[in-house]
Amino acid sequence: MSEQQNVYPVREDIAANAWADEATYQAMYQQSVDDPEGFWAEQAKRLDWIKAPTRIKNTSFARDNVDIRWFEDGQLNVSANCLDRHLEKRGDQTAIIWEGDDPNDSKHISYRELYERTNQLANGLKELGVGKGDTVTLYMPMIPEAAMAMLACARIGAVHSVVFGGFSPDAVAQRVIGADSKLVITADESVRGGKQVPLKDNVDAALTRDGTDVCKNVLVVKRTGGDIEWKEGRDLWFGDLVDKQSTECEPEAMGAEDPLFILYTSGSTGAPKGLKHTTGGYLTFAAMTHQYVFDYQDGEVYWCTADVGWVTGHSYIVYGPLANGATTLMFEGVPSYPTHGRMGDIVDKHNVNILYTAPTAVRALMAHGENVMDSSKRDSLRLLGSVGEPINPEAWEWFYRVIGNEKCPIVDTWWQTETGGIMISPLPGATPLKPGSATKPFFGVQPALVDNEGNLLEGAAEGNLVILDAWPGQARSIWGDHDRFVQTYFSTYDNMYFTGDGCRRDEDGYYWITGRVDDVLNVSGHRMGTAEIESSLVAHSAVAEAAVVGFPHDIKGQGIYIYVTLNDEIDPTDELKKELTQWVRKDIGPIASPDVIQWAPGLPKTRSGKIMRRILRKIAANECDGLGDTSTLADPSVVDELIEHRVNQ
């Protein structure tokens, strides 16, 4: 089917000036896998090192010894690479264009201003007793202070852990405890789509939870001036701490393998895990991918619409672009406010050249028709990017035609929180595009497909996506739980990193990601574990048992479908459905809002008591004819009952 799709050849105007054309890509890719040491030693030179590395690659994927080190004897500072080294040439160039939620609110921050403010904050953090190796939790709006906070931590060698501003107080508490954070940086409120979100209130609530007393201070940016509670001795205003500080702060010399940040993400089991990313390899990879995948040219305005709470924001709003001396746009609001044309309006207002967004945003626009972008021309655009979930060919074509005016290549970038940076993606000057395919591996990345037994599949095939050797940007561990890291990623198949994704490779060697093969959901590009939602539900006194599955959703990609078995004597009312919806939103955050709740007097289980999710997924997707073999169920009749009362979405 997809083989008959359109192929978009490389545009000559792009290839002529691109960092890599087809021949360059081939040659560099070959070198990157034949001689990774030589290749990455050369690439590390894109950074300023305090001590240049001599030991380049020292990595093992063996399950009894998972140990990943890049540039291990090198020393550098990430903030110095993102700021100091640009001052001479581009001190007055805009580093960050900030576009507020309100379309009349925007500002430009130069590299010099960003440098000075970051240093002041770094000195402020030191005054609070934060130093090398300490962890700091950030729970912030999309404002420049979020980037400053990340960079200030990096400057003094503190490890940041950014928590997405849409998560609940419990999620904040869990992460403060998990990372042992002595400081939380937040704002009074964030503003999204004209509405205030009470960040400081949420932090207050989080810090009443048991175990959070590790946290000694809360630093608060005044964003809205809204009413907040104040805890003397613990809470401090950002301005009060920072304004008085010196604008010079010596960057800490960090080992290449010292941690830079922790970022929590969901897996198929258990609580979210804090991936540990380190310094030298991460920044080399973030900077290189940003340059090549987006073909970033000096002076261009680049906009990634993600939130800094996700890895995309880390690598492609902050670290990659700033390491490259780019102008990066940071948007506080949502694409639908005040109108659905907002994204295009922002492109025109700031002459954006490169727009990196998510399939769910494209599909949401598509739903509003061909004219949804008519308030803007978007002539400045040169390149488009997609990330977070598979982009269906219809959405790809619409993105290309309506947003990009049929002149911008689309880079569909496959990667993960764990990979630190882009792994499979076209290069705009090198790769003919096939809508829906992430196409080819980036330099140094060796993808492969295996069957369920771990046998490598050759040629055109479909299987589980693994990566055969280490790359500099990958996570090194799970914070405080290396065994879980090994278990999750290196135990399914010998000597391979297992991605959790299914994938097809076509006869041209193009990769087509088919989605998760584990119990992880991807709702609007947000990753969630079914187990997390289930454990939230069973904590409600009315609930005996719950099973959560994804189902195809036109805009979100996947929706959340929940089967709930109630305790005896509890009435299955619509009121209770609403209550359970609120319960999950409060517990995890609005992104985990159930789309459908179905009462399930019984769940399909094997005789050993294991829930057959395969069947529940089929029912949720309304594919009730193809349920397959149900004879192994303890009680096959529960399936008929569920089909009969299936809830239409």
Among 111, 415, 443, 561, binds ligand WT7 (CB under 6 A): 415
Among 43, 75, 312, 439, binds ligand WT7 (CB under 6 A): 312
Select from 164-172, 253-261, 304-312, 365-373 the region that touches ligand WT7 (CB under 6 A).
Answer: 304-312
User: According to CB under 6 A, which residues from 262 to 281 bind ligand WT7?
Assistant: 265
Give me the least distance between CB of 309 and ligand WT7, in Å please.
11
Phi-psi region of 295 (alpha: psi -120 to 50; beta: other; left: phi over 0): left
Give me the least distance between CB of 77 and ligand WT7, in Å please.
25
Residue 361 and residue 552 in contact, taking contact as beta carbons nearer than 8 Å: no
Q: Please report whether residue 500 would count as binding ligand WT7 according to CB under 6 A.
A: yes
* Residue 175 known to bind ligand: no
Give me the least distance between CB of 305 and ligand WT7, in Å please.
12
SS3 state of residue 597? strand
Give me the least distance between CB of 513 and ligand WT7, in Å please.
4
CA atoms of 42 and 510, how far apart (whole Å): 27
**Pick 540 or 553: Cβ nearer ligand WT7:** 553
* Residue 98 known to bind ligand: no
SS3 state of residue 587? helix
Residue 546 and residue 565 in contact, taking contact as beta carbons nearer than 8 Å: yes
* Residue 192 known to bind ligand: yes
**Pick 296 or 414: Cβ nearer ligand WT7:** 414
Select from 37-45, 193-201, 307-315, 394-402 the region that touches ligand WT7 (CB under 6 A).
Answer: 307-315
Q: Please report whether residue 417 would count as binding ligand WT7 according to CB under 6 A.
A: yes
How many of the other CB atoms lie within 10 Å of CB of 406? 10
CA atoms of 470 and 59, how far apart (whole Å): 7
Instruction: State CA 577 to chain mean position distance.
Output: 30
Can you list the positions of beta strands (E) in 193-305? 195-197, 217-221, 235-237, 254-255, 259-265, 273-278, 301-304
Give me the least distance between CB of 403 and ligand WT7, in Å please.
17
CA atoms of 527 and 360, how far apart (whole Å): 13
Give me the least distance between CB of 555 and ligand WT7, in Å please.
16
DSSP 4: G
Please spell the DSSP secondary structure of 196-236, one letter per residue. Answer: EE-HHHHHHHHTTSTTGGG--EEEEE-SS-------TTTEE
Give me the least distance between CB of 256 and ligand WT7, in Å please.
23
**Pick 472 or 500: Cβ nearer ligand WT7:** 500
Look at the chain and count its residues.
Answer: 649
What torsion, rounded to 10 degrees, do the Cα atoms 351, 353, 354, 358 define?
Answer: 40
**Pick 76 or 523: Cβ nearer ligand WT7:** 523
Give me the least distance between CB of 420 and ligand WT7, in Å please.
10
**Pick 80 or 410: Cβ nearer ligand WT7:** 410
What torsion, rounded to 10 degrees, do the Cα atoms 414, 418, 421, 427 define?
Answer: -20
* Residue 412 known to bind ligand: yes
SS3 state of residue 348? helix
CA atoms of 551 and 546, how far apart (whole Å): 16
Burial class (CB in 10 A: 0-12, 13-18, 19+), 649: middle
**Pick 304 or 322: Cβ nearer ligand WT7:** 304
Give me the least distance between CB of 390 and ligand WT7, in Å please.
4
Burial class (CB in 10 A: 0-12, 13-18, 19+), 543: buried
Select from 214-222, 280-288, 306-314, 480-488 the region that touches ligand WT7 (CB under 6 A).
Answer: 306-314
Among 182, 340, 476, 527, binds ligand WT7 (CB under 6 A): 527
* Residue 488 known to bind ligand: no
**Pick 484 or 646: Cβ nearer ligand WT7:** 484
User: According to CB under 6 A, which residues from 422 to 461 bind ligand WT7?
Assistant: 438
Joined tokens for residue 619: 């029912």
DSSP 108: E
* Residue 479 known to bind ligand: no
- Can you name the residues that pair with 456 across neighbouring β-strands? 450
CA atoms of 530 and 204, how far apart (whole Å): 28
Sequence letter at residue 387 = V
Select from 509-517, 558-566, 572-580, 628-636 the region that touches ligand WT7 (CB under 6 A).
Answer: 509-517
User: According to CB under 6 A, which residues from 357 to 396 bind ligand WT7?
Assistant: 387-390
Among 71, 414, 498, 510, binds ligand WT7 (CB under 6 A): 414
Phi-psi region of 358 (alpha: psi -120 to 50; beta: other; left: phi over 0): beta
For tokens 């061909």, the residue is: 370
Among 314, 363, 516, 613, binds ligand WT7 (CB under 6 A): 516
**Pick 383 or 576: Cβ nearer ligand WT7:** 383
* Residue 221 known to bind ligand: no
Residue 71 and residue 37 in contact, taking contact as beta carbons nearer than 8 Å: no
**Rounded alpha-carbon distances, angstroms, from residue 608 to 538, 629, 633, 635:** 20, 16, 9, 12
* Residue 514 known to bind ligand: no
User: According to CB under 6 A, which residues from 189 to 228 bind ligand WT7?
Assistant: none
Among 5, 269, 380, 416, binds ligand WT7 (CB under 6 A): 416
The residue number with the shortest CB distance to ligand WT7 is 417
Q: Please report whether residue 513 would count as binding ligand WT7 according to CB under 6 A.
A: yes
Residue 332 and residue 303 in contact, taking contact as beta carbons nearer than 8 Å: no
Residue stretches of the annotated binding site: 192-195, 312, 388-390, 412-417, 501, 516, 524, 527, 538, 540, 543, 585
Judged by the rule CB under 6 A, the positions of this chain that interact with ligand WT7 are 265, 310-312, 387-390, 412-417, 438, 499-501, 513, 515-516, 522, 527
Residue stretches of the annotated binding site for ATP: 388-390, 412-417, 501, 516, 527
